[in-house]
Structure 1
Amino acid sequence: MRLKTLALALSTAGLLAAIPAAPASADGPWPDEEPWPPGNCQQGTFCAWPNWAPVNSGPTETPSLVTTGPWTGSAPTKTFYNYTTANVELEYHHAWQDDSTVITHCATPRGNIFYLQVIVTKVNWHGSC
């Protein structure tokens, strides 16, 4: 019971926390001082990685997901980066759960970081979030 309570507390307290979005700029890359930069994610794409990214440098490993439009599949994810100027709606479930418990998350521009391993199953580009 305590493990379920701890898992729920972790999920509620920070699983979906993302760095607050700053106004999008059409002029190019985000500021250098961003604590979780896009790493090897190209501007105009949504990227996800199955591992943690180093702070201040961003991920350099091969992403588990890169998309510029709607996507469905199965991508293990601990770190993501929305390198677009639009909201992207994600559907996922926790890695330790079956896929019947679907959670939706709005990834705002520059939004990133899941704290625990999740499986992203759907990306609604320019979602309604």
Structure 2
Amino acid sequence: MLLKPFAIAGVIAGVLAAAPPASAAPQSGAGVYPPGNCQPGTFCVWPHWDHPNGVPTATPSLVTTTEWSGNITGFNYYNYTNRNAEISWSFTTQGMTFTGTDCATPGDGFFYVPMTVTKVSWRTHVC
């Protein structure tokens, strides 16, 4: 059915857009979600939800201070830098793969669903 791909894309877009806005203060760590074990000055990605009391404690699948490309599972992320990060991702469901990018401002985090993260780069312009 032709509407099915649009419905799935709508769900993904809705989930990504539903994240509350986060603080843009440089390295504040005071966004809507706490940084947990992500250290100041780093960008972190976690592969699954393991956040007792809403704070990430699991080992991140990615911790970077530089631009990065590869292929990791990312359930959520946290930007604990003073730069905007662009995250390239893909998501496969029901045999269809969707790709996109998110812009993470300082203190921003979360995908809400498991994604494949393929690139993190720094943006010089506002998200």
RMSD, matched Cα: 2.4
Which residue does 1:72 correspond to in 2? 69
The runs of 4+ residues in structure 1 deviating greater than 4 Å are none
Which residue does 1:48 correspond to in 2? 45
Which residue does 2:21 correspond to in 1? 20
SS of 1:102 mapped into structure 2? strand
Q: Structure 2 stretches of 5 or more lacking a match?
A: none
Q: Structure 1 stretches of 5 or more lacking a match?
A: none
Which residue does 2:12 correspond to in 1? 11
Q: Is 2:122 aligned against 1:125?
A: yes
Give CA-to-partner distance per residue, 1:59-83, whole Å, 9 cap, x none: 1111111100110101101110001
Partners of 1:55 and 1:19 in 2: CA distance: 20
TM-score (norm 1): 0.79
Which residue does 2:29 correspond to in 1? 30
Structure 2 CA distance for partners of 1:79 and 1:19, relative to 1, 3 Å: same
Partners of 2:14 and 2:54 in 1: CA distance: 25
Question: Which amino acid in 1 is paired with 2:44?
Answer: C
Structure 2 CA distance for partners of 1:124 and 1:23, relative to 1, 3 Å: closer
Give CA-to-partner distance per residue, 1:85-114, whole Å, 9 cap, x none: 11001111114455xx53111011111110
SS of 2:106 mapped into structure 1? coil
Kindly tell me the number of residue pairs found equivalent between the two proteins.
123
- Normalized per residue, the structure richer in strand is 2
Which residue does 1:93 correspond to in 2? 90
Partners of 2:88 and 2:124 in 1: CA distance: 11
TM-score (norm 2): 0.80
